[in-house]
Amino acid sequence: MPDTSKTETPKPKKAASNSKSQRATQPATDVPFPEQGHGGEVHQQAENQSERLTTAQGVTISDNQNTLKAGASGPALLEDFVMREKIFHFDHERIPERVVHARGYGAHGVFECTKAIPELTMAAPFQEVGKTTEVFTRFSTVAGSKGSADLARDVRGFAVKFYTNQGNWDLVGNNMPVFFIQDAMKFPDLVHAVKPEPDTGFPQAQSAHDNFWDFISLTPESMHMVMWTMSDRAIPRSFSTMEGFGVHTFRFINSEGKSTFVKFHWKPKLGLQSKVWNEALKTNGADPDRHRRIMWEEIDTGNAPRWDLAVQTFDQEFADSFDFDVLDPTKLIPEEVIKPEIIGTMTLNRNVDNFFAETEQVAFCTQNVVPGIDFTDDPLLQGRNFSYLDTQIKRLGSPNFTKIPVNRPKGCPVHNYQQDGHMQTSARAGRVNYEPNGWEEGPREHPLEGYVSYRQPIEGDKQRLRPESFADHYSQARQFYISQTEVEQQHIQAALVFELSKCEMLGIRRRIVSHLLNIDQTLAEGVADGLGIEDLPKAAPAAQQPRTDLDPSPALSIVKNGPDSFAGRTLGVLASDGADAATLTALKDAAAAEGVMIKLIAPKIGGFTDSNGDKHPADEKVDGGPSVLFDAVAIILGDATSKAVAAMPPAQDFLKDAFVHCKFIATAAPSARLVEACGLTDKLDDGCVSLTDKASAAAFIKRCADLRYWDREAALWPA
Active site members: 101, 174
SS (H, E, C) 704-715: CCCCCCCHHHHH
The 10 Å CB-count burial string (b at 16+, else e) for 132-143 is bbbbbbbbbbbb
Q: What is the DSSP letter of 69?
A: B
C-beta of residue 604 within 8 angstroms of C-beta of residue 620? no
Chain centroid offset of residue 417 CA: 37
* Cα–Cα distance measured from residue 236 to residue 532, given in angstroms and rounded to the nearest whole number: 30
| Separation of alpha carbons 522 and 481, rounded Å | 11
Give the phi and the psi of residue 300 in degrees, each rounded to 5: -65, -30
According to DSSP, the residues that pair with 266 across neighbouring strands are 244, 309
Q: Are residues 175 and 129 in contact, defined by beta-carbon separation less than 8 angstroms?
A: no
Contact 362, 401 (CB under 8 A): no
Of 627, 562, 566, 703, nearest to 242 (Cα)?
562
> What are the φ and ψ backbone dihedral angles of 645, each rounded to 5 degrees?
-65, -40
Show the 3-state SS of 670-711: HHHHHHHHCCCCCCCCCCEEECCCHHHHHHHHHHCCCCCCCH
Type of residue at 72: A
Sign of torsion over alpha carbons 102, 104, 109, 110:
negative
Taking a C-beta distance cutoff of 8 angstroms, is the pair 247, 384 a contact? Answer: no
Give the β-pairing of 665-667 and 306-314. Answer: unpaired
Query: How far, in Å, CA of 439 to CA of 459, rounded?
Result: 42
- Cα angle, residue 248 at apex, residues 245 and 254 outer, rounded to 5°: 100
Helix and strand tally (H, E) in the chain?
18, 20
DSSP string, 109-150: EEEEESS--TTT---GGGSSTT-EEEEEEEEEESSS-TTS-T
How wide is the angle at C-alpha 60 spanned by C-alphas 56 and 61, nearest 5°? 90
The one-letter code for the residue type at 705 is A
DSSP H helical ranges for 350-505: 379-396, 475-482, 486-501
CA distances from 373 to 123, 173, 246, 250, 451 (A): 6, 15, 13, 7, 9
Q: Which amino acid is at 123?
A: A
- By the 8 A CB rule, do 244 and 538 touch? no
d(CA 152, CA 284): 8
What whole-number distance in Å separates Cα of residue 95 and Cα of residue 397?
Answer: 8
Exposure b/e, 5-40, CB count within 10 A at least 16 = b: eebeeeebbeeeeeeeeeeeeeeeeeeeeeeeeeee
Q: If phi over 0 gives left and psi between -120 and 50 gives alpha, with beta otherwise, what is residue 662?
A: left
